[in-house]
Structure 1
């Protein structure tokens, strides 16, 4: 029977895959977002680190700060989260959800305004053709 070998990644593999710099990965490690093992000076990233990196980058795109992302990871990792921790996590999620909903509403309004402007511009061009 073959031993179950865990899939691991080097710093360059993750940096290339996610189109970020090795320095960014080291920064995320310093902040406690990633926790690669060491083999000499080399960092060995696990599948969990890869998932956390993807979640970190997605969280940043959605407007979470790195501190907020780490707090969420810490809350998620806590084996027996306390009531205050869980309330804190729920509040943070609700706040971010409201912010994203507002952004989505704003985007919809801007898209509607752009659609209206596009229609007016095309109508004006069409009128110019006939004159």
Structure 2
């Protein structure tokens, strides 16, 4: 293979994705490998797009959001629209993640408290003392 083109196996190994995932991204028009018979050949552009797809997935972007950003690629305007859209999407996602983090933090605190109460109840039971009959009574 040429330095500029990679097979599906090389792409899979290089990026740690399955061939099925690559075919899925192709079916979703996120990447467009060259076809030589049954063989898929991925260009530098495909590799760059795949890097962006994987980064977007890691950040929790939807495939539609990733597709929208990729479709805005336009070096003639120095990718101004693409960058603006990517930043807006990133800000929205960060806000969602921060809200989820706060909710998760609260849930962790509550679960820790339930564990402390459960351990105290278990200790009372082992000592032969009466304990509340349900978690709601605690």
Q: Secondary structure of the residue that 2:35 maps to in structure 1?
A: strand
- How far apart are 1:86 and its partner, in Å? 3.8
Q: Shift of residue 85 of structure 1? A: 4.6
TM-score normalised by length of structure 2? 0.66
SS of residue in 2 equivalent to 1:32: coil
Q: How many residues align?
A: 123
Tell me what 2:17 maps to: 18
**Cα offsets for 1:64-87 (capped at 9, x unmatched):** 221101122334x432123x5543
Please state if 1:78 is matched with 2:74: yes
Give ranges in structure 2 of 5+ residues lacking alignment. 129-138
Q: Scaled by the length of structure 1, what TM-score is found?
A: 0.69
Q: Following TM superposition, where does structure 1 have runs of at least 4 consecutive aligned residues deviating by more than 6 angstroms?
A: none
Deviation at residue 54 of structure 1 after TM alignment: 5.9
Distance in 1 (CA, whole Å) between partners of 2:83 and 2:47 is: 25
Larger radius of gyration: 2
Question: Equivalent residue for 1:88?
Answer: 85
Give the deviation of 1:47 after TM superposition.
6.5
Equivalent position of 1:125 in the other structure: 122
Tell me if the contact between 1:28 and 1:34 (Cα under 8 Å) persists in the aligned partners.
yes
CA-based RMSD of the aligned residues comes to: 3.2
Equivalent residue for 2:96, pick from 89, 99, 107: 99
Sort the Cα spacing of 1:81 and 1:13 in 2 relative to 1 into closer, same or farther, 3 A.
closer
1: CA distance, partners of 2:107 / 2:36: 51
Unaligned runs of 5+ in 1: none
Using CA pairs below 8 Å that are at least 6 residues apart, which structure has the higher relative contact order?
1
CA 1:64–1:11 in structure 2 vs 1: closer, same or farther (change >3 Å)? Answer: same
SS at match of 1:43: strand
